[in-house]
Amino acid sequence: MWKEIGKFGKKLVEGGYLSSHFGNISVRVGDGITVTRSGCMLDEITEASVVTVDLHKPSSLDLIASSETIVHREIYKKTSALAVIHAHCPFAVIESLLNDTSIEPYDSEGKFFFHEIPIVTGHIGTKELAQNVAKALEIHKGCIAKGHGTFAVGKILEEAYVHTTMIEHSAKVKYFCDLSKNK
Amino acid sequence: MPHIEKLLEIDLDTEKIEVKKLDKKMTSKYIGGRGIGVKLLFDRLPPNTDPLSNDNILIFATGPITGTVVPLSGRHIVVSKSPLTGTAFDSSAGGFFGRELRMAGFDVVIIKGASEKPVYIEIDDGDVNIKDASNIWGKNVKESTSILSNNGFKVSCIGKAGENLIPISSIMSEYTHACGRGGLGAVMGSKKLKAFIVRGKKEIQISDSEKMKKYISESMRLLNASPVASKGLAYYGTPSLVNLINTMRIMPTDNFRKVHFENAYKVSGEYIAENYDIKKKTCYNCFIACKREDRKRNIEIPEYETIAMFGPNSMNDDIEKIIQANYICNDYGVDTISAGNAVSCYIELEGKKDIEKPLKEIVEGGPLSQGSFRYSKGKGKEDSSMSVKGLEIPGYDPRGVLGLALSYATSNRGACHLRAYMVGPEILGKPKLIDRLSFSGKSGLIQIFQNISASVHSLIMCQFSSFALSEEEYANLLSAGVGELYTSEEFIKTGERIYNLERLFNLRESMTYSEDTLPGRFFGEDGISKEEFNSVLDEYYTYRGWNKGVPTMERLESLDLKNEGKFLCGKK
Ligand code: SF4
């Protein structure tokens, strides 16, 4: 599984969706969550870069897991997601700061697949953020934590990756459209 | 108009006819079709009821969007305890019958008891009658349908196979649309019920037309964009799968002893398109129109599954013989998958490469008509039965599609490719391509796809819609149909509830997890590692919140099934 996580970690960094040390990726494996470790470089993942933590409750292994594991866990508990990607997509972050509760994509794919992309609040690694993100993902395929980054889900990692890139694309199109309009 | 609600109960013992309303809370929790059917079956059927006794019940059900403006919404479903598998069983058919039933004024019909003499049920725009069927008893589907379909009635009936209680018999709607699997035709025959005919003019309503318009346009866009739905199926019909499945080396061949058939081209969709003058046929409100007919003879071109079973799996490359076999099965009212698979089993055991003789034995009620499991067991060779829980395996060799392998094994109704329709992701790459030769990640995926399918079968939409639509589109269509918000998650959870209730039904019938497996032929050096299979099965149970195939009380509580699971307390 770490190879699959590594593959998408690399793609995310190369695509500019996050910088190497930020963001995190996980997949659900039975009653566990295999998640990237805190401080690991997502474009250089090895077997030692991931850790499997309990799905239901935190344990000592959480200490070495990504600081956002609390959010991943809450998502898996509240939804049927089997893969989660958290990325610091720049345009998504900008749009989350320019809008209040959601952004409505202008591009046809974004409009079609997302209708709207919710913006949620809560500080990094907190229960509040975990609950707000999980709640949004009960209905949506992805959301943006205000000023922080995207959380996207899928049945497989590829799907979560596609959702992440689509959110960023929609945010980018919207940003430049709004910019041109306001000139 | 909110959820489905109009319930008709007919007791053939007493000829009592009652019109009732379905409980709103129940319809909200189970949607319709398969969900409502299994709930009614669970509540009303005492454990260990003989499926062919008066006590079994037969449920015809539609869903909240059946027969509406929603595309691919013409299906209806029949639910009962199967005489083939002994499990809760649902079997659905396309066509127009479901829509007509709703226009005739009813969403769900429960048939209880059994008549002493042959009868048929007629619903004429709300007016229900039990009528004498002595003049059609003993006739096959074609003749019976043509007699009963006068004046615009839509007909569901059984042929001689159902009358003779053959446990692989089907219920046929409008000649060729089959509620094929599980032998529910025999349940109908045991009630001396030859046919069920409906006609009506009532309007079928949906709750929010504006929203529905929007969701339909979104769904149509996805369906049109799906090459499988809008091109492959629309162009060649399901036989388009023959060459593909053969190339992937997952074609059931010689009773699943091989995975590749040399002469597959001669029974393929391409061959049929080149050599036959084909007329397209469709179900209600479907632009795909995947059904095919030979224009000259007005005879149906078989579906992929039928071709796979009577063709490569029976070492037969003569498409004409398959067309004839399909015609005979439909006319006698026999499931083509089970019959074809049983023929393949016969060929293995008898060493004779002839599909005509064993098929004759099936439709005339010989030992092979009992299905491949009972037949081969009778010969002390049950290892030659390619079935799970007694239900014959359809046209995909599980060794080369590992998600499907797990899905066959864990299906509540036995080997079925539609419980988690992995043909989409594992074979056709729709909606996303998933590695078919790896078990990695499959346990989680299978249970989700099983849950989604359970809800789709309750909605009810044609399974082929899933090449393009996801739980989100289904949830939207359902929400607009019933005027109550279902999120994607709720749609999946409803499916999970239905799946667990079916499992509870089977456990109440004393089934155990030992039946969540595949025939021994598929394991071993050239096949699936038993060890790996067992480990992925354990992982699947973990996802499901089951302990050795039995739902935990905690999981049942979370699905609001605590009461239904009470019988498990104290059971070891
Ligand atoms: S795709 Fe085929 S089976 Fe499905 S509704 Fe259309 S015609 Fe019927």
Per-residue pLDDT tens for B84-122? 999 999 999 999 999 999 999 999 999 999 999 999 999
Task: Answer yes or no: is pLDDT of B433 > 60.
Answer: yes
Expressed in angstroms, the distance from the first to the final Cα of chain B is 46
Record: contact A79-B489, CB cut-off 8 A: yes
Closest CA to B386 of B242, B530, B518, B533: B518
Q: Is the separation of the CB atoms in A143 and A118 below 8 Å?
A: yes
CATH superfamily of A2-181: Class II aldolase/adducin N-terminal domain (3.40.225.10)
3-state SS assignment for residue A106? coil
- The confidence score (pLDDT) of residue B572 equals 52
Question: Hey, which CATH number is domain B237-395, 2.60.130.10, 1.10.569.10, 1.10.760.10, 1.20.120.160?
Answer: 1.10.569.10
Closest CA to B7 of B141, B106, B82, B104: B106
Looking at the complex, does the CB of residue A163 fall below 8 Å from at least one CB of chain B? no
Q: Is the separation of the CB atoms in A17 and A88 below 8 Å?
A: yes
Report angle CA A163, A112, B474 to the nearest 5 degrees: 90
Record: contact B432-A28, CB cut-off 8 A: no
How does DSSP classify residue A12?
H
User: Starting from the edge strand earliest in sequence, which strands make up the sheet with B299-300, in order?
Assistant: B278-281, B291-294, B299-300
Task: Answer yes or no: is pLDDT of B13 > 80.
Answer: yes
- The confidence score (pLDDT) of residue A63 equals 76
Q: Which of A79, A112, A139 sits opposite B218 (nearest CB)?
A: A112
- Exposure of B131 in the CB half-sphere (CA atoms within 13 A): 16
CB contacts, 8 Å: B440 with chain A: 1, 4
Closest CA to B83 of B172, B164, B179, B182: B182
Q: Which of B440, B448, B539 sits opposite A80 (nearest CB)?
A: B448
Ligand 1 centroid distance, CA of B262 (Å): 30
Record: contact A82-B445, CB cut-off 8 A: yes
Q: Is the separation of the CB atoms in B341 and B309 below 8 Å?
A: yes
* Cα(B500)–Cα(B430) distance, integer angstroms: 26
* Cα(B409)–Cα(B443) distance, integer angstroms: 12
B→A contacts (Cβ < 8 Å), by residue, are 218, 221, 432, 434, 440-441, 443-445, 448, 451, 472, 487-489, 492-493, 539, 542-543
Element (H, E) at B459: helix B442-459
Task: Answer yes or no: is pLDDT of B187 > 70.
Answer: yes
Q: Is the separation of the CB atoms in B266 and B317 below 8 Å?
A: yes
Radius of gyration of chain A (CA): 15
Closest CA to B67 of B455, B460, B468: B460
Closest CA to B443 of B516, B535, B556: B535
Query: How far is CA B14 from each of CA B50, B79, B110, B495, rounded to the nearest angstrom?
Result: 20, 22, 14, 36
How does DSSP classify residue B505?
H
Expressed in angstroms, the distance from the first to the final Cα of chain A is 48
Instruction: State which residue of chain A sits closest to B443, comparing Cα positions.
Output: A30
Q: pLDDT tens, position by position, for chain A (183 residues)? A: 888 999 999 999 999 998 767 889 999 998 899 999 877 888 888 888 888 999 998 877 777 788 889 999 999 999 999 999 999 999 999 999 999 999 999 998 898 888 899 999 998 888 999 999 999 999 899 999 999 999 999 999 999 999 999 999 999 999 999 999 876
- The confidence score (pLDDT) of residue B1 equals 54
CB contacts, 8 Å: B446 with chain A: none
Question: Given ligand 1 and candidates B290, B306, B457, which is best to mutate, with the most ligand atoms within 8 Å of its CB?
Answer: B290
Amino acid at A155: K
**The two structure tokens encoding residue A57:** 């409750």
Record: contact B441-A82, CB cut-off 8 A: yes
**Relative to the CA of B281, which ligand 1 atom is closest?**
7
How does DSSP classify residue B384?
G
CB atoms within 10 A of CB A89: 26
In our burial notation (b when 16+ CB lie closer than 10 A, e otherwise), range A142-170 reads: bbbbbebbbbbbbbbbbbbbbbbbbbbbb
Instruction: State which residue of chain B sits closest to A27, comparing Cα positions.
Output: B441
Q: Which of B221, B432, B539 sits opposite A156 (nearest CB)?
A: B432
Chain segment A158-178, per-residue pLDDT in tens = 999 999 999 999 999 999 999
CB contacts, 8 Å: A112 with chain B: 218, 221
Of all protein residues, the one whose alpha carbon is nearest to atom 8 of ligand 1 is: B283
Amino acid at B136: I
CB burial class (10 A; 0-12, 13-18, 19+) of residue B563? exposed
CB contacts, 8 Å: A159 with chain B: 432
The mean per-residue pLDDT over the stretch B498-513 comes to 97
Strands B58-61, B108-112: pairing kind: antiparallel
Query: How far is CA A129 from each of CA A82, A92, A151, A161, rounded to the nearest angstrom?
Result: 20, 17, 11, 21
Instruction: State which residue of chain B sits closest to A112, comparing Cα positions.
Output: B218
Tell me the percentage of chain B whose pLDDT exceeds 90: 90
Sole residue written with tokens 């497989």: A156
Question: Taking CB atoms and an 8 Å cut-off, how many pairs form between chains A and B?
Answer: 44
Ligand 1 centroid distance, CA of A92 (Å): 41
Instruction: State which residue of chain A sits closest to B472, comparing Cα positions.
Output: A139
Distance from the Cα of B538 to chain A's closest Cα (Å) equals 9
Chain segment B518-533, per-residue pLDDT in tens = 999 999 988 999 999 9
Pocket of ligand 1 (CB under 6 A): B 72, 94, 282-283, 286, 288-291, 462, 464
Of all protein residues, the one whose alpha carbon is nearest to atom 2 of ligand 1 is: B290
- The confidence score (pLDDT) of residue A114 equals 87
Closest CA to B494 of B92, B64, B19, B201: B64
Enumerate the CATH 1.10.569.10 domain ranges in chain B, comma separated.
Answer: 237-395
CB atoms within 10 A of CB B354: 15
- The confidence score (pLDDT) of residue A47 equals 86
Give the CATH number of domain B6-199. 3.60.9.10
Ligand 1 centroid distance, CA of B228 (Å): 13
3-state SS assignment for residue B205? coil
Sole residue written with tokens 């988690």: B420
Distance from the Cα of B22 to chain A's closest Cα (Å) equals 29
Of all protein residues, the one whose alpha carbon is nearest to atom 4 of ligand 1 is: B462
**The two structure tokens encoding residue A6:** 């590594």
How does DSSP classify residue B75?
-
Enumerate the CATH 3.60.9.10 domain ranges in chain B, comma separated.
Answer: 6-199
Closest CA to B424 of B286, B233, B284: B233
* Cα(B354)–Cα(B374) distance, integer angstroms: 21
- Helices marked H in B231-318: 234-236, 241-247, 269-275, 304-310
User: Starting from the edge strand earliest in sequence, which strands make up the sheet with B58-61, in order?
Assistant: B16-21, B6-11, B108-112, B58-61, B76-81, B88-93
- The confidence score (pLDDT) of residue B136 equals 98
Annotated domain spans of chain A: 2-181
pTM: 0.91
Question: Given ligand 1 and candidates B293, B456, B460, B462, which is best to mutate, with the most ligand atoms within 8 Å of its CB?
Answer: B462
- The confidence score (pLDDT) of residue B2 equals 66
Strands B127-132, A83-87: pairing kind: unpaired
Instruction: State which residue of chain A sits closest to B496, comparing Cα positions.
Output: A80
CB burial class (10 A; 0-12, 13-18, 19+) of residue B294? middle
Record: contact B221-A29, CB cut-off 8 A: no
